[in-house]
Structure formats: C-alpha cells, structure tokens
Chains A and B, each alone.
Chain A
C-alpha cells in the first residue's frame, strides 16, 4: 500500500540551530512529494514540492528538501530555525489521478529560546 512515514512525532530544537525533519515514502513508482506546514487550528501552507529534476529543492521561509531515490526519502531541512517556525510539518505524496494526497502523521516542531 502507498504510504508516507514521518518517524519523529515531536522534535525540539534551539532557536538558531539547524533542523532536519525526516520523511520516507513507500510507492510502486516515485511519487510527487510535498512538504506542508500547519500552525495550530490553521490550514496547510505548501513549503516546497518535488516533481522531477534537481533533487535538492528550495522552498519558502528558507526551507529546502532533498529527494533521495535510493533511500525513498524526502527530508526537510533548514539551516537556522526561528521561533516562528514552531508548527506541525506534514510530508505528503501523490502518484495517482485525482491528486489524492497521502500524508505522513506529521512532526510537531518546538523551538526553544
């Protein structure tokens, strides 16, 4: 079955420290991949996407993600975290008509000052 796994439920980092959120996918063929961010009680904002081509993709708010086919991974990174980055982050994938997004369980990021 198609699935997206985010192994870390919670991550706490210090402000100014680097961040990496992990995402692994299980699909028959390479899916299209996305990272979304959600603040409490809010909708989802698209951070970045990977469809094809360069495996290092840049997104908004200083985020980037690297697609690694050999590891079936699409990890999200940020070199220096700001307190405003505290939110829940969802990795998502789709590979079928209808653009049905399959989401990982989410990772809650806490930023300590």
Chain B
C-alpha cells in the first residue's frame, strides 16, 4: 500500500469557520508534510513532522494549525482563513526526513474560502 489518503477532497468554508483537513498513511512512514499549491504554481512546503513532532514550520500564519496525533495521521486545522488561502492542500509522507528519501503525495484537498 503506497497510498496517502486525504479527506475531504473538496471543502468550501467561510472566513469565520473552523475546519480540519485529514491525512492518513499506512506505509510506516515517520515523516509527514503539508504543502500548499496555488493555481498554476508549484507546491510550497508548509510543515514537516518527524516522529510525530513538528520539525519545520515555514513561517505559516497561525490560522493554520497542524497536528500529528500518531504516526499514521496528520491533520491541518483551519480557522479564520482568508480568500487568498484558497488552494490545493497536499499531504505527503516519507520513510524519514533525510534528504535521500522520496515523498509520496496524497490527492489533495481543494479548499475554497468564501
């Protein structure tokens, strides 16, 4: 099983809503990532978790709050988002966080903030 599963596939939320994106993998990977991809742009790293601990935060606004409850799950909690936060949010995982390891991506959650 080389799948990274993200739910929901689509999400529309208002600027005052609170919602969460979920990501799950069962490959035994110990590193998990959130990337943000705006339309017609490449993905950009937001957060890295290594062994369930946050190891990298790429200066992401606090309205995005990641959580890694266990080695298989990664959440992204959303609160008070802005319309410019509309994007495809991609979760990825890899065996570890060393550079010589490939990342497997989920299908993404298409987020629209209204």
Interface residues of chain A, those whose CB is within 8 Å of chain B, are 31-32, 34, 36, 41-46, 49, 51-52, 90, 94-101, 103-106
- State which residues 4-56 of B face A: CB under 8 Å: 4, 6, 31, 33, 35, 41-45, 48, 50, 55-56
Min CB distance B72 to A, Å, is: 18
* Additional A-B contact list (16), CB under 8 Å, known A43-B6, A98-B97, A105-B42: A43-B4, A43-B90, A43-B107, A43-B108, A45-B105, A46-B102, A49-B102, A90-B42, A94-B99, A97-B99, A99-B94, A99-B98, A99-B101, A100-B56, A104-B42, A106-B41
- Do residues A43 and B48 form an inter-chain contact, with CB atoms below 8 A? no
Interface residues of chain B, those whose CB is within 8 Å of chain A, are 4, 6, 31, 33, 35, 41-45, 48, 50, 55-56, 58, 88, 90, 92, 94, 96-108, 110
- Can you list 28 pairs linking A and B with CB atoms under 8 Å apart? A32-B99, A32-B100, A41-B110, A42-B107, A43-B105, A43-B106, A43-B107, A43-B108, A44-B90, A44-B92, A46-B105, A49-B102, A52-B100, A90-B42, A94-B99, A95-B99, A97-B98, A98-B50, A98-B55, A98-B97, A99-B31, A99-B94, A99-B99, A99-B103, A100-B45, A101-B103, A103-B42, A104-B42
A43: chain B residues at CB < 8 Å are 4, 6, 90, 105-108
A103: chain B residues at CB < 8 Å are 42-44
When chains A and B are docked, how far (Å) is the Cα of A40 from the Cα of B33? 21
Number of A-B contacts (CB under 8 A): 68
A36: chain B residues at CB < 8 Å are 105
B106: chain A residues at CB < 8 Å are 43
Min CB distance A37 to B, Å, is: 11
